Amino acid sequence: MKILVVLTSHDQLGSTGKKTGFWLEEFAAPYYVFKDAGATLTLASPKGGQPPLDPKSDAEDAQTPATRRFRQDSEAQAALASTVKLTDVKADDFDAIFYPGGHGPLWDLAEDRTSVALIEAFHASGKPVSAVCHAPAVFRHPHGPDGRPLVQGRHVTGFSNSEEEAVGLTDVVPFLVQDMLKANGARYSKGPDWQSHVEIDRGLITGQNPASSEAVAEAVLKFLR
């Protein structure tokens, strides 16, 4: 199993002057689910190199067994520090694609033409496309072979409006993931705030929040098997 993991390169939280990036738990938990299952991982980002880490996800109260394992894993840290450029990867070389969240993807990956083309190529080939928390933002522009939005009529989830409100960033983000998915015709659903909730629909595998990270990765593996 060869899995492409695509991380954000964006580190500015709108015009707040604060930093953002990817959310550590949403990278680390799936990373180890995939690795422990014997998958070969390639990490990529729009700019390549070290993707920016959301500092809040590095705080003590955000740590999980997976993030602690990552902090002791020099091999994983080296892999993360040297992501390949997104323009240098081809969908044909992989069996699945996964996007960790954090607020960063709302600004760069949601609008990235290379990412859009990759998602469309993976989906057209029947390969799973997966994203967790804010990363379903990447479904803003991809279309299916029929020319309709990729998520139209599909059961999907992603960071909810109520969760965005709880972290106080409703007026900072460029768009709300829940609203965008529904505007694209998705059958959006959510579980309770901060609880694991995953939707699987014909190769689209989405998770609502950080707590959903591991379950999304496990669903990808199940799809591949």
* Chain segment 193-224, per-residue pLDDT in tens: 999 999 999 999 999 999 999 999 999 999 99
Q: How confident is the model at residue 54 (pLDDT cuts 50, 70, 90)?
A: very high
Q: What is the pTM of this model?
A: 0.98
* pLDDT for the residue numbered 89: 98
* pLDDT for the residue numbered 109: 98
Interval 63-96: pLDDT, tens = 999 999 999 999 999 999 999 999 999 999 999 9
Average pLDDT for residues 153-170, to the nearest whole number?
98
* pLDDT for the residue numbered 90: 97
Tokens of 171: 């007026």
* Count of beta carbons in the 10 Å neighbourhood of residue 40: 11
Phi then psi for residue 67, to 5 deg, are -70, -35
Q: What is the DSSP string of 31-99?
A: HHHHHHTT-EEEEEESS-BSPPBPGGGGSGGG--HHHHHHHT-HHHHHHHHTBEEGGG--GGG-SEEEE
Three-state SS sequence of 140-194? CCCECCCCCECCCCCEECCCCHHHHHHCCCCCCCCCCHHHHHHHCCCEECCCCCC
Q: How confident is the model at residue 24 (pLDDT cuts 50, 70, 90)?
A: very high
* pLDDT for the residue numbered 75: 96
Average pLDDT for residues 155-180, to the nearest whole number?
98
* pLDDT for the residue numbered 10: 98
User: What separation in angstroms does the CA of 181 have from each of 3, 83, 119, 131, 139?
Assistant: 24, 28, 15, 13, 8
Query: Among 6, 46, 48, 3, which Cα is nearest to 27's?
Result: 6
What is the three-class DSSP state of 3? strand
Q: What is the mean pLDDT of the chain?
A: 97
Average pLDDT for residues 55-68, to the nearest whole number?
96
* pLDDT for the residue numbered 147: 95
